[in-house]
Structure 1
Amino acid sequence: MARGDLSDVEWELVEPFLPLGGRGPVPDLRRLFNAVMWRFRTGRPWRDVPQEYGSWSTVYGAFQRWAAAGTFRMLMGGMIAEAAARDQVALDLVSVDSTVARAHHHAAGMAVDPELLDELEKAVAEEKGLIERGKAHRWLRRTRTATTWCVRTTKTHLAAERRCRRLSFVLTPGQDADSPRFVPVLEGIKVRGPVGRPRTRPGAVAADKTHSSRANRAYLRRRRIRCVIPEKADQVANRKKKGSRGGRPVAHDPDLYKDRNTVERCINKIKEWRGLATRYDKTATGYLAGLHLRGAVIWIRSLRPT
């Protein structure tokens, strides 16, 4: 077993989630899975996968099939459910934040169908018109070269619990703001237990000032979730300017807010894998699959014996 590969106990948790091929000989799933982990852990090209893991094309083909089928997403959900079954998930406080990964030039140059390229150019033209009128919605930070299309940066919005383990991911272009993604991140929290519906409501949510908005606070209030988000200076000034019409000051617990660092530590754990600290994948599907894989491995290696 090479450094970083799954142990026998860890493999017993992973194996039920990996589908077998529809035809041909049964592949060595453990070796393929360890190879995919090696690629994201080191950030090396797929062609550099060591021979001990088998042919690089076989490894890449398995990764593509698993990513398209949502295998890594289901694996991470299964590991969260396993932790919940062992009573090792704490939802008393969930922290939300985001991180940006710069795209390597190997992530550029994805071939685009000519018809799709024409549609993208029309979207750019419409966006330029909106920019001139001050009504732009910049969904992608992009560059165009000949018949290729690439994204320069990718932003990952995530929620983490007290033990620095990820609960949900939302992937967006690098220039997207944090506040509009606050609700989708929380909506992605689903902790399945042995029986009953999944748990989706944490006791409290901590986030920095970039997530401070009336809409986000109203969402937390409607779901009866304690809000631990400091108020922006301009929002405080605007409220005081209105006097009694500005409403009451926002309640904030500075002691509980100190525990928000758990999501930042979770980001550090994710970016220990070089293939995620920098984006080398041309497609968002591949990069998101790597994020789910890393999230699943973090959960697996944090489980305490029962």
Structure 2
Amino acid sequence: MFRYILKRLLYAIPVFLGITFVIYTLINLAPGGPLSVLAASGEMSLSDLEALKISMGLDKPIVIRYFIWLGDLLHGDFGISYRTSQEVSLMISQRIMPSLMLTGTGILAAMLVGVPLGIISAYKPNSVWDHISTFISFIGASVPNFFLSLLLIYVLAVKLKWFPTSGMQSSGMSGNLLDLLHHLALPAFVCGIQPIGNYIKQTRSSVLEVLNEEYIKTARSKGLTNVVIVLKHAFRNALIPIVTTISLSIPFLIGGAVVTEQIFAWPGIGSLMITAITSRDYPVIMGVAVLICGVVLVANLILDLIYAALDPRIKFK
């Protein structure tokens, strides 16, 4: 297993370099730049802007700047924000826990609701529960995050005043767990509604496929109850595609959280990324990109290890 993990980590190096180089090149080729706001305001002369450009290293070719950035990254230096002059690592560390809280709650809620509903739908096809699950899947797959966010804010926060419209905590309520959960409810629901639909569909189809296998018919002929057959035999053998769906939804959930965090003014990585993009804050953009890229690569490695734990036929090479 150690040899396999080492091999996967070595494979991840060129993937990481390729992804970061493409992102670095694209953001530097985008119209505008870190100095465009200062130039438009007229607060600095052309000579001052040119001196600032040289001091920031923006006068060098993109490839040279990328390798300078990569060398600093290998020494644990994520750079300094152009906008706030703070260390990028500090800015990300302040935002990562709110994002993990939001996306983690969304994934957990989606798993706790979606997987059981998928099992029930497979166990009782064309039943009331099956129709309810299909409806939830349809809503999750078809309603955009931004529309659902605005709809919930308008109905539940503005009209009914059941929930706050934005933010992570109310003024003067820092450290209050109930107030935090009150603010977390709506954005976490938005983050979880789309994966719930995917989990329901994948769980239902996987369990139904397994229920048609010969060994399931053998289990029924032995007198085992349907509950035992579904939970002990069918669900366990259907876990691999279900786990795949859950793991693949993680990067998409992070991407969706960018929109959700911006709408709900949630102080996470997503809102930091939007602010960095609008201000052309290259170091912050790259810092967030490194974080997301690392999460996806590690999640894929963990997924392969889970495969081996679920299916003894899978061997590490």
TM-score, normalized by length of structure 1? 0.24
TM-score, normalized by length of structure 2? 0.23
Bigger radius of gyration = 2
More helix by share: 2
More strand by share: 1
